[in-house]
Each structure stands twice: as structure tokens, then as C-alpha cells.
A and B are shown apart, each in its own frame.
Chain A
């Protein structure tokens, strides 16, 4: 069960209401509503193709929903592209990490938000210095600041992607299977980081396949199947098997169904 229970009174950080999006006649997301409060981790679960990633891409600006609305801190907003999402302090760590392999860590961390000198030229030294600072906090063993990220290990690449999301004072963090490519030690580091960010009051959407991680890291879990929302449950009111049942059968557990 995850640390301190977040305060779910007041305005949610994010509300996605009645979101629908279809691709060529297939409803990838079908009238789904989810919300997220400050200091909360909400797990998004479901089989491959259930619509979790598609739903979350509407929030990160990669896709635009066909119907439904998104509210940030109670205000309805339009998120048309990733730039809009960043303007609302929404940061995303994609499953593919979305790193430009030919650039070094600092260039990736600041991609799209480069630090510039007074003359408007990119300031590589300043960016490297900032990258060294944040990596010193996230992954103290990180040394390869000059190499392109293609030369890094999976865990190192992951830490660059995480650093990019955390560095710019995110309020809302979307993590798409952040531990899928990681070893046990690195997975533990990500888990600790999530706890730390939670304590700072960030809201985190966590797309995750591993039920064990969901039970350990999440406050609530929203389960999707075939593009529809099966239900949202408080993680400490259910068992592993209840959630598995939701994922596989698409039904809420009997004791919560009422």
C-alpha cells in the first residue's frame, strides 16, 4: 500500500471526462472518465490494446480526442499538441522513451526547451552542467554525458527520460511502463522516485502491467478493457485477484460492484 493517502477533497489536478477517440472505425477509447489528485498515483491497467496508452496520449498531446473534455485544476483546456501539454506542466515518459539516439543526454533532456545564451545560441555547457546536477540526484552512477544516448544502457536511457520529465517542474506526470526495460535494482530506484515525487504533490498516471508494482505504488487503479473503463478502485480495498479479475473478465469485484 502506498505511503500517505492523498487528500481527495477539493479540485482534482486532472479530470478527463467522457473521452472518446477512434481510428478508422475502431473505438480505441470509448467514453472513458478518469481523474487524478495532487500527491496521488493512479494506475492505468488493462491488456495490450485496451486503450490505456491511447487515452493517456490525449492528455500528453500526441493525440486529440474526438469527444470529451479535459480539465486541469478545474479549468477546461484544449491540448492540441505536446507543446500545449508541456505548457500545463504535463510531462510524459513514453514507453519508447522518445529519445533522439544521436544526441547526448543534455541535448535530449532539454530538447524543445534549450537553454540559450544572451545571443540566442544554444548553451551546451550550461545544459550539461544542469544535466550533471539532476543526474547526480537521480542516478549518481551516470557518467556518459558526452556520448550519444544510443551508447547508453537501458537503465541509463530510462534515467535520461525520467530526468527530462522531472526537471521542468512537472505537476502532472505520465509514466508509460517505466520499469518494463529495467532490472530489479533500477526498478527499485524508480519506485523510490515515484514516492518522492508523490510526496512533493505531483499527480502521476502510471501505466503498468505488473500487478505487484500496481499494488505497491498506486493509490487507485483504473482498469480498461476494449476501450471502455471497467472501473476505478482504491488499491487498499482490493486484492491482486480482484484487479486481475477486472482486467481479464472486465467486471468489478462483487463486494465493490454495488
Chain B
């Protein structure tokens, strides 16, 4: 027991900074790529914003429009729906499956929730427009439908042995058009006023509560690091030096609070603020301003990210997902019911599609037939850019979310600097292939299969 600790001691001296911090180099690479994208677009938009061109890069960055609070806010609320589904796609791909039907499932759930809010609940069931039960009932129905459709897909894959590619390719055609049939192709709106709060700009925590959430999140991050250290010490395993833990905790807190500060800095337009006050029957004080703060949808994404990370790393379910992806036969021989596991993984994917449907629909403020079109490709791309291996067994939740963020930043940035639409898609396609190629090279270097 003591031997490994003794061996570790001399090794520390030879270790570099990154090893001491125990940060995954590939995660670092992704963060680096993201920062490069941010800085490049900041400079590029800066050049375009300046009246006269100068050769001073600092002037470019200072005049940039990419990292201003408004754009950061927009990017975060635009990425949420894809990012939520990408966390589920990680599990699907890790178990050596694929789900091509997520965009269609999102559309079907959205269609059901749209009809419930616009027609069935207020009119057919007579609750009346604006009844407080409409939003929760519609959401529960959407989440239940997503889970059921996902479980059915999983049953076809796990118990009937149809390849996931085929089942979900069928689903891609079936679910969206089932939604179309249910709504007769009509746009569903206007939506319930409570429901819309989950879309982004309409529902935010405001500056004070955003700081509270940010501080709680920071405290939890520090607590988590401390607990992990204690667990290691209890069993006498080597731990990293205290300063390294401090640096990590500092980076985590700075990232969380920095994002909160940016979101708070985006001020609600005066006209909108005035309407908010009027809706409450109050008069807006002169010169009153306040920031948006953390949108509910982003808070939901954060909670999903934490929950899915805990599932992946700390539950038996998650352990079995990765074991099955690494070696399905071994998992089966270890007594894992891999068929039921497949059903659960697809059901979870379906649930997350339902959740994304709530957020996507609320953000667009109505249901249309083309909601979530091509989302399957964005979601798969986010998971793969985030380091999920299509061969199975490898993938992380935080990687997938970072992948979604990188894609959304690229698209947003390209739109801002005026890249033509066909080129935007060409760039995203190239980035996807490039990300996987870099990943393969990285694994070869490190000798990981």
C-alpha cells in the first residue's frame, strides 16, 4: 500500500506543470481551440468595426464585437438545446450506437407541447389561456413522450437487434412527419407565457440571483475538489500539491464568475424593461437599468451537465455504459444486462430531446415544422468534436458541451463577419473532420487505441 506512494515521490520532480495539475491535455487543447476562435473573431469583427484600418492588433481586439456581453449572451442561449442533446449523444455513441433521430424527436415533442398549449389544454379541456397548470402539464407530456419514443427506439435496437443506424434513420423520417401530421403542418403559437421563460432572453435570473447561483456553483466546485482529495488521502493514494488544487479551484471559480459577470453586463433594453414594469402595474423609475443575468435555459444546461457527469463517472449505470462500449461481450459476461442498458440509454436520449424541445420552442416562441432540422448532425458533431469516439467506450460530457460551444461560436462568428452561408457550412464540415483527425493523431502519439 505504501509502495506506490514512495514510487510517486521521485516522479513528481520530473513532472511538468500540466501533469502536476492533472489536467487532461486533450481538454486543454479544446479550450485552446475555443480561445483561438474567440480571439480571432474578436479581432476580425474589430477590424470591420473600425473606421480606419490600423496595424495595431490591440485596437482590433478593443473594437471587437464578438466578446461583448450581448453576443456572449446570444451564443450561450443558442447553444443550449444542442448541448443538452449532445450530453445524451455521448452515452449513445459510447455504447457503440448512434441516434440520427434526435432532431425529429425534438420536433415531435415540440409539436405535442405546442398543441397542448395552444389548443388542447386551454380550449378543449377548458383551462383557459394563461392557466398556471398549462406550462407544467405541457412540459411533462413533452418529456414523457420523448422518453417513450427513446425507449421504443432502444427496445428495437437492444432487444430486436436492428442496427441503431437503421432504426434511427427510420425515426428521422417518422417522428418529424408524425409531428407534422399532428399539427396539420400549422405553426403552433402563441405559447404559454410561463413556458416562454425557459427559452433564454425572456426568462433570466437577474443580476443578484445570478451572482448567488455563481457563488454557490463556485463553492460547490471547491467543495468537490476538496472531497476528491480527502477520498484519496483516506486510502493513502498520492495527491497533487495543495497549490495545484488551489490553481484549479481558482480557474473554475474565475470561469464561473466571469461568465456571470458577462451575462449580467448585458443590459435589458429600456423599452423592454418599461413593458416589464407596466406588466406588473408599476412605473419604471427614471434612469433605471438592470442586466439580464443567467438565463433559466443555461441554468438547466448546467444542471444537466452536472447530473450527466455524475451519472457517467459515479454511478453503476454510467460505469456499465462505458464497459459495454469498451467490450460488449465482457460486459455481458460480467452480468450486465446490456439489452436493458441500451433501452435506458436511448430513453435518456429521448428525455433530453424532450427537454431540448422545451428550450428550443420557448426560445423561438412557437412550434414550427422545421424546428430542430439538422440538429442530429449538430449534436453528433458536438459530441465528436468533444472527443467522443465513434468506435465506442470513450467520451466525456464536458467535452460534448465544449464541442457544442465551439460549433455555435464558429457559426455566430462567421455570421458576424459576413461569411457567406455556403462557406459557413463548409467551415463547420472541415472543422468536424479536422477535430477527429487531430484526435486520431493525438491517440497515436499517446499510444492509446
Write the nearest CB–CB distance from A113 to chain B, whole angstroms.
8
| A122 and B237 form a contact (CB under 8 A) | no
Residues 285-304 (chain B) with a chain A CB within 8 angstroms: none
The answer to whether A82 and B235 touch across the interface, beta carbons within 8 angstroms, is no
Question: Knowing A103-B326, A151-B447 touch, does A122 contact B335 (C-beta < 8 A)?
Answer: no
Most buried by B among A94, A97, A100, A116: A100
Expressed in whole angstroms, the Cα–Cα distance for A92 and B315 within the complex equals 25
Q: Please, how many angstroms separate the alpha-carbon atoms of A97 and B330 in the complex?
A: 8
A81-B335, A103-B322, A136-B1 in contact; A128/B330 too (CB < 8 A)? Answer: no
* B24 close to chain A: CB less than 8 A: no
- Interface size of B by CB at 8 A reads 34
Q: How far is the CA of A120 from the CA of B1 in the complex (A)?
A: 26
Of B314, B319, B333, B447, chain A has the most CB atoms within 10 Å of the CB of B333
* B393 adjacent to A112 (CB under 8 Å): no
With contact pairs A98-B327, A100-B322, A143-B4 given, residues A121 and B234 touching in the complex (Cβ less than 8 Å): no
Tell me whether A86 is interfacial, beta carbon within 8 Å: yes
Q: Which of B58-98 contact A (CB under 8 A)?
A: none
Q: Judging by beta carbons under 8 Å apart, are A125 and B330 in contact?
A: no
Q: Decide if A100 touches B234 in the complex (CB within 8 Å).
A: no
Residue contact A121 to B393, C-beta cutoff 8 Å = no
Residues of the B chain whose Cβ atoms lie less than 8 Å from the Cβ of A143: 4, 7
Contact with A along B310-343 (1 / 0, CB 8 A): 1000111001101111110111111110000000
Query: Given that A125-B235, A150-B449 are known contacts, is A98 also in contact with B393, CB under 8 Å in the complex?
Result: no
Cross-chain contact of B331 among A60, A111, A116 (Cβ < 8 A): A111
Complex formed: what's the CA distance from A129 to B1 in Å? 8
On whether the beta carbons of B327 and A100 are closer than 8 Å, the reply is yes
Q: Which of A100, A101, A128 contacts B235 (CB 8 A)?
A: A128
Given A98-B327, A100-B322, A102-B326, is A111 in contact with B447 using a C-beta cutoff of 8 Å?
A: no
A98: min CB distance to chain B, Å = 4
What are 14 sample pairs from A and B whose C-beta atoms fall under 8 A apart? A62-B333, A82-B334, A99-B327, A99-B330, A100-B323, A100-B330, A102-B393, A108-B323, A111-B336, A112-B334, A114-B319, A125-B237, A132-B1, A151-B448
Q: Which 5 A-B pairs have the closest CB atoms?
A: A100-B326, A102-B326, A112-B334, A102-B393, A83-B335
Residues of chain B whose beta carbon lies under 8 Å from any beta carbon of chain A: 1, 4, 7, 231-232, 234-237, 310, 314-316, 319-320, 322-327, 329-336, 393-394, 447-449
